[in-house]
């Protein structure tokens, strides 16, 4: 939809200022988008590397736990794991990227995860719990990274829409309005010039008549 404007020089000056402001805003948003994309790629690379290692460690823990389940009865495993001997504490921090506040999660584990008798439990259960304890900080860290990736992706999408709105809609519409005003002013100027020439001709004709 074209911008409705009045064909005046004041309106022309105002529109030129709006175009200059829109171009400045477009550049700032484009720079912001580039930086967000750079940070997004870095975070994705970090996340994928950490996730790959975590999946390998979890696969090892699952295998050990399956061996433990095969060597013990279900009531035996439930009884061994009934009273946890370790406590996990999650702490949160934040970091700033542009106008975003991204979360950073970390976890610490205190106590002994093997809070059961050693004679009636297999070594595979000990190993599975040891690996689970080691991978827990990685799981929590990945949760923070996934949230940060989601926030960055939403901000990138919003910023890209604003950049496109300025580049493909607002700025072209303002420029089209400026062209329309200039054409109208030129037309009015030509009309005024034509009228002045006619007036001049009439004055000169009357002057010639008065001399005769």
**133-176 pLDDT, tens per residue?**
888 888 898 989 999 999 999 999 999 999 999 999 999 999 99
Instruction: Encode pLDDT of 56-104 as tens digits.
Output: 888 888 888 888 888 888 888 888 888 878 888 889 899 998 888 999 8
| pLDDT value at 199 more than 90 | no
Strand partners, 86: 111
SS3 (DSSP) at 74: helix
Looking at 3.40.605.10, 1.10.10.10, 1.10.287.3240, 3.60.20.10, the CATH number of the domain 9-67+85-114+125-176 comes to 1.10.287.3240
- pLDDT score recorded for residue 207: 76
Q: Are 180 and 5 in contact (CB under 8 A)?
A: yes
Distance, CA of 209 to CA of 27 (rounded, Å): 66
- pLDDT score recorded for residue 185: 84
| pLDDT value at 34 more than 70 | yes
Higher pLDDT, 6 or 158: 158
Higher pLDDT, 76 or 28: 28
- pLDDT score recorded for residue 137: 87
| pLDDT value at 202 more than 80 | no
Candidates 148, 147, 137, 151; CA nearest to 50 is 137
**CA 25 vs CA 16, 33, 75, 153: distances in Å:** 14, 12, 66, 21
Candidates 71, 45, 79, 68; CA nearest to 132 is 68
Q: Are 109 and 140 in contact (CB under 8 A)?
A: no
Candidates 105, 171, 170, 189; CA nearest to 141 is 105
- pLDDT score recorded for residue 21: 95
Strand ranges (DSSP E) for the chain? 86-97, 100-111
| 24-28 average pLDDT score | 96
């Amino acid at each position: 939809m074209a911008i409705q404007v009045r064909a005046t020089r004041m309106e022309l000056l105002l529109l030129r200022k709006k175009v200059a402001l829109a171009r400045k805003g477009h550049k700032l948003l484009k720079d912001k988008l580039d930086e967000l994309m750079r940070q997004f790629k870095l975070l994705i690379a970090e996340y994928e590397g950490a996730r790959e290692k975590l999946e390998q460690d979890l696969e090892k823990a699952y295998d050990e736990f399956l061996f433990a389940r095969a060597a013990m009865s279900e009531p035996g495993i439930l009884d061994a794991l009934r009273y946890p001997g370790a406590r996990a504490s999650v702490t949160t921090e934040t970091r700033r990227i542009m106008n975003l506040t991204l979360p950073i999660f970390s976890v610490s584990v205190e106590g002994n995860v093997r809070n059961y008798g050693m004679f009636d439990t297999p070594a595979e259960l000990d190993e599975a719990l040891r690996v689970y304890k080691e991978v827990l900080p990685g799981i929590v860290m990945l949760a923070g990274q996934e949230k940060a990736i989601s926030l960055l992706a939403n901000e990138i999408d919003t910023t890209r829409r604003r950049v496109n709105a300025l580049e493909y809609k607002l700025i072209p519409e303002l420029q089209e309005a400026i062209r329309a005003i200039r054409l109208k002013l030129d037309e009015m100027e030509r009309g005024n010039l034509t009228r002045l020439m006619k007036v001049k001709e009439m004055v000169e004709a009357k002057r010639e008549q008065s001399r005769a």
